[in-house]
Amino acid sequence: MERLLIEGGLRLDGELRASGAKNSASVMLPAALLADDPVTISNVPHLRDITTMIELLGSMGVEVVIDEKMNVEIHANTIKRFTAPYDLVKTMRASFTVLGPLLAHYGQAEVSLPGGCAIGPRPVDQHLRGLEALGAKIEMEDGYVKARVNGRLKGARIYFDISTVGGTEHIMMAATLAQGETILENCAREPEIVDLANCLNAMGAKIGGAGTETITISGVDSLKGCTHKVIADRVETGTYLIAAAATGGRVKIRDANPGHLELLIEKLREAGASINLGEDWIELDMQGKRPKAISLFTAPYPAFPTDLQAQIIALNCIADGTSTIKETVFENRFMHVHEMTRMGAQIKLMGNNTTAIVEGVERLQGAQVMANDLRASVSLVIAGLVANGTTAVDRIYHIDRGYEQVEEKLNNLGANIQRVASQ
């Protein structure tokens, strides 16, 4: 086990390049199972979740070739097994999405129910109901979903009961090879869904409306190979912008998409940041100022993302004023709050732990803290950056699931972070 040791009190200043989006890449890899020819995905981030997905594909006999630039070439036609085992699926939820492509292309699949972050229930009922509407026969046995279809899936009109990113992506993938037309309603609108649709269309799919509430898919007989570049990771980009703002610093992030972070940019300007934007870059400068407290509520895209909530709370801990943060997407997503209070943060949880009231203090104090999920873990790193003394963050395997070379990138911006073995 490893931990991060952070010496706080240093102002971030410099430039970095945004990594490819984890949430795009992690569904594009299983999407390659739909194609008859090799698919190459570029700008893939080097992360534990991505490695897990590649390992999962390999366990099914799929040939995966990776070059030194993390271009990933997938040969689905070498597949030998149609089972995704528990020991791999349990570690990341996105791996469950191999179910739809396997079913659509090969007519069968056996996939373990997923694991992932402990941030409240994220049931897969929307996924399964959608696949059944397309004609799949689904049984649950020993913690596995066993799915079959006689012949091809059939197009259908499907209404999602809730806005589900994974469900939208999953059913969209499966419907590409279904007979006839599929109409998906009440779809999630995240940029990663648009990215996936663009990748599938490059493979020969006929998808329209991605990024809106209604997606239409005209099924095709087969999909071919393609090369597709993953979009920039908006959550990673947002995290480094927030970290720089919290420290009163400056950062320029290249290869980013400002259009995917409009609300965050607005909120950081509200906090006192000067922000300049280009077509593929974002520059933030706090000019040494202490941030002002910012209030917000999370909601599905294009509202404020739940995946940046914990980072904003870290900023608010040392901001000037009192803020209110309301979480509407996931329950149990304030687990980082208890760790931050160990560092001297003044936070009260209200409304059955759905709302955090944060009273800013001038400085936090370094302490030993523990990460509980992916985004919470990086918020503790930000808290460590603005604390007096040393902060030790344990269980950082959560960070490695979603942030590429986090300590290297922050150190390049002037932080003092070491990765060491846990005692």
Instruction: Determine whether 117 is an active site residue.
Output: yes
Rounded distance between C-alpha atoms, residue 304 and residue 311, angstroms: 12
Burial of 403 (0-12, 13-18, 19+ CB in 10 A): buried
Type of residue found at 285: D
The two tokens of residue 277 are 């934007």
Q: Give which of 185, 173, 180 is closest to 215, Cα–Cα.
A: 185
The one catalytic residue among 117, 187, 226, 317: 117
Rounded Cα distance, 186 and 195, in Å: 18
List, edge to edge, every strand of the sheet that includes 181-185.
Answer: 157-159, 181-185, 214-218, 206-208
Phi, psi of 147 (to 5 degrees): -125, 140
Residue 352 neighbours by CB distance under 10 Å: 7
Torsion of CA 330, 84, 37, 178, to 10 degrees: -70
Active site (catalytic) residues: 117
